[in-house]
Amino acid sequence: MSHSIREACGVCGGWAEDQPMAYLACFALYALQHRGQESAGIAVGTGDGGKMWLKKGPGLVSEVFPDTEELKQLPGPLALGHVRYAYSGEGRGPENSQPLLLRYRHGELAIAHNGRLVNGARLREELAEQGAIFQTETDSELLGHLIARQNNPCLEEAVAAAVSRLEGAFAFILCDGKKIIGLRDRHGFRPLSLARLGEKGYFLASETCAFDTIGAQFIRDVAPGEAVVIDDGGIRSYQVLPPAQPSLCLFEFIYFARPDSNLQGKNVHLMRRELGRRLAREHPVDADMVTGVPDSSIAAASGYAEEAGLPYEMALVKNRYIGRTFLRPTQRMREEGVDLKLNAVEKIVRDKRVIIVDDSIVRGTTSVKLVRLMRRAGAREVHLRISSPPVIDACLYGIDMPASQELVARRYKIADIARELGADSIGYLSLEETVAAVGLPGEGLCRACFTGLYTIR
């Protein structure tokens, strides 16, 4: 039986008659590249339901679309883009690149998604028993089958009926060559925002940083359970799913989102700096300097330094030409990746007591390496400070987390983790302080990886 794969991807798409949409979608994907580096793709619609253009493939946006001029020439007011992040062995095949372009009775359908269904495997099995053929392991294909089965020429109605079968975390963008539909699950686990583009156009993206890149003006976040339809008639919105307890992913704030994005109106960088300040108050330690792990922890580390009254030093330098280590599939490759990726600066840290601020510890692979690098460079003491609580459970909603037994906070008691990682001390920010730094009600955030309490499973 195949399982739906874990994905925390990036999606974007929009409609505008006066804009080079394929070209803009490509730049929006550049801005969303941190959300997935495994594959990239763009579908373009003619606006009248004519044959859609699709290009996708493995690799970075720059590798899949080396010629952006070609995109500029593509006619069509509709575009839909996707970057994919899949870490498990299954699901890494090229057939899982998105957008998917499906043909069914009522025409063509391009689908891209971010998230993970909790009932994906069950639904697949049910459809397969009835004879459905799956060519990919994506939740997008599952949605495509469910839409086709509605046998309804009205895409909005078919989508509404199809998504009512889905449980879990999803942000979908669909295009039938005439319109774009963007929608979020009823808990709003994964982000999706809406912006104005050009005179009469609109654009949707997983993160607001994509809007800045293409000159679109943020309007609002798509609401949990809401579907937004964009075409030459303008924009319409309908509630496809009854809204439930909002549950936006807290890990988006801590690690995943780009610092220049705003999630639910909160700027990610400022919020991470606040995490660092609170971390300094909760876990102070005598030291000579603070350093962050580039790039995701720099904001928190600067907040820590500011609050502690210690100098912030660039004691760790990252080779920016190497991708996120986490994206490498095997432990060995991950370990090799960290070595290649980071260097400790001896002239800065020799004989010093160093505080390393990182945004999270998952398996502990990165921390072990960091401490080792620091000691090799001559640091006298190495203190780890983590701007989030211990990760104790896997994510069911699309963030790539290993199975629980691989999590360092599961394998050891907190008191023993510093020793296991080779550090002189460790301090994790409490969940209360983490939520307080975000500044949104805790019940409105998904905290399952820190608590083991899942909204749905």
The catalytic site residues sit at: 9
Q: Is 301 in the site for ligand AMP (CB under 6 A)?
A: no
Tokens of 5: 């794969």
List the one residue from 248, 275, 356, 362 that touches ligand AMP (CB under 6 A): 362
Q: How many residues bind ligand AMP (CB under 6 A)?
A: 18
Rounded Cα distance, 254 and 236, in Å: 33
**Contact between 326 and ligand AMP (CB under 6 A)?**
yes
Report angle CA 451, 454, 456 to the nearest 5 degrees. Answer: 175
Q: What angle do CA 191, 192, 197 make, to 5 degrees?
A: 150
**The one segment of 45-53, 207-215, 399-407, 428-436 that binds ligand AMP by CB under 6 A:** 399-407
Q: Do 316 and 292 contact (CB within 8 A), yes or no?
A: yes
65-84 binders of ligand AMP (CB under 6 A): none
Question: Is residue 173 a contact partner of residue 113, using CB atoms and an 8 Å limit?
Answer: yes
381 near ligand AMP (CB under 6 A): no
Taking the least distance from each CB to ligand AMP, the nearer of 38 and 108 is 38
Q: How far is CA 316 from CA 165, 357, 379, 418, 446, in A?
A: 47, 11, 12, 20, 31
Does residue 266 belong to the site contacting ligand AMP (CB under 6 A)?
A: no
358 lies in the site for ligand AMP, by CB under 6 A: yes
374 lines the binding site for ligand AMP (CB under 6 A): no
Q: Which residue is nearest to ligand AMP (CB)?
A: 326
Does residue 382 belong to the site contacting ligand AMP (CB under 6 A)?
no
Q: Whose Cβ is closer to ligand AMP: residue 229's or residue 401's?
A: 401
| Residue 364 binds ligand AMP (CB under 6 A) | yes
Q: Which helix (H) or strand (E) holds 143?
A: helix 139-150
Of the listed pieces 12-20, 189-197, 224-232, 396-404, which binds ligand AMP according to CB under 6 A?
A: 396-404
Which one of the spans 184-192, 232-240, 357-365, 424-432 is the region binding ligand AMP (CB under 6 A)? 357-365
Among 106, 149, 324, 372, binds ligand AMP (CB under 6 A): 324
Using the rule CB under 6 A, is 7 a contact of ligand AMP? no
Q: Does 189 bind ligand AMP (CB under 6 A)?
A: no
Residue 107 and residue 104: Cα distance in Å, rounded? 5
Which one, 77 or 427, has the nearer CB to ligand AMP? 427
Of 193 and 365, which has the nearer Cβ to ligand AMP?
365
- Among 39, 193, 213, 365, which residue interacts with ligand AMP (rule: CB under 6 A)? 365
Beta bridge partners of 44: 53, 79
- Burial classification of residue 94, based on how many CB atoms lie within 10 Å of its CB (0-12 exposed, 13-18 middle, 19 or more buried): exposed
Half-sphere CA count of 334, side-chain side, radius 13 A: 16
* Position 361 contacts ligand AMP (CB under 6 A): yes
Helices and strands, number each (H, E), in the chain: 17, 23
- Report if residue 293 touches ligand AMP, rule: CB under 6 A: yes
DSSP string, 272-311: HHHHHHHHHHHS----SEEEE-TTTTHHHHHHHHHHHT--
Residue pair 187/224 in contact (Cβ under 8 Å)? The answer is yes
How near is the Cβ of 429 to ligand AMP at its closest, in Å? Answer: 14
Q: Are the beta carbons of 374 and 290 closer than 8 angstroms? A: no
Radius of gyration of the chain (CA): 22
Please, what is the minimum distance in Å from the beta carbon of residue 264 to ligand AMP?
Answer: 20
* Residue 360 in contact with ligand AMP, rule: CB under 6 A: yes
Q: Any bridge partners for residue 175, and if so which? A: 110, 180
Is 255 an interacting residue with respect to ligand AMP (CB under 6 A)? yes
Q: Which residues bind ligand AMP (CB under 6 A)?
A: 255, 293, 296, 324, 326, 358-367, 399-401
